[in-house]
Structure 1
Amino acid sequence: MTLAPELAPTPAAWSAALHAEVQQFYAHQMQLLDLGEAEQWARTFTEDATFAVPTLPEPVRGHAGLIAATSRAAAELAAEGQRHRHFIGMFDVRPRPDGAVEVRSYAIVYASQIGGESRVHRVCVCEDVLVRQDGELRVSARTVTRDDLA
């Protein structure tokens, strides 16, 4: 089916659709992370993905590494009686000619002591490369920098 020229999506419309898809991707991904769903969260990355954060000595690689790191962090938080909530926003979405998408965003991590107070834990910049696998967005590379360590 071919749309009439006046109904065909414009580049701006495609950009808006991609931006909305990216927002939904991160909303779902951060929900999985904050709920401690390590295996499902890891599946939002490619099998050979890299995840570099300043709290680890070297980047985490692949699903097994992501699951182990996330499970360990969730266990530590539970032992401390804490919850973390990740708020991601200010998405700068840049499609690349090869079909990948570069996304730069701000992340605020809130820490809540169960039965106690909440506070800002970290403020970060997240730089991702997203690719499509089976029609869905996946992170192939993530680099997180912290404002307090810049």
Structure 2
Amino acid sequence: MGWSLGGVYAREIAKRCPDSVRQVITLGTPFASLGGANHAGAFYKLVNRDTSQLTPAMQARLRECPPVPTTAIYSKTDGVVSWRGCMEKNTAKSESVEVNASHLGMASHSEVLRVIVNRLAQPEGQWRPLQNSQRSARSTRH
């Protein structure tokens, strides 16, 4: 599990060591737009001063879904990262779940915690996407 840039690390670890990772859950992680269109990209550039590592090939690799069940939790009211860059494609092993939370409040928001508990409660090897009836009224599938 990873929040913001920590989610990028969680996804990359799952890609490199899929046998050691049961599932990935990201919170407000801009894996699809780390290079721009959000404040996280500006922060990355400020901290690293060298953005040459964020090549188009690297950005494409970051967008690739891990080979393990993956839930990307995002919010249109995030305020730090673009919600569009935090969404995963819906497949048999991946999903995006919308919540109504700020970026900094995401890790303690009750709606987010309910999704996390639901995801972690699934038996190993029996991952299923979150059902519409389990989502809050504001959550939608994309």
TM-score, L = length of structure 1: 0.24
Higher radius of gyration, 1 or 2: 1
| Higher strand residue share | 1
TM-score, L = length of structure 2: 0.25
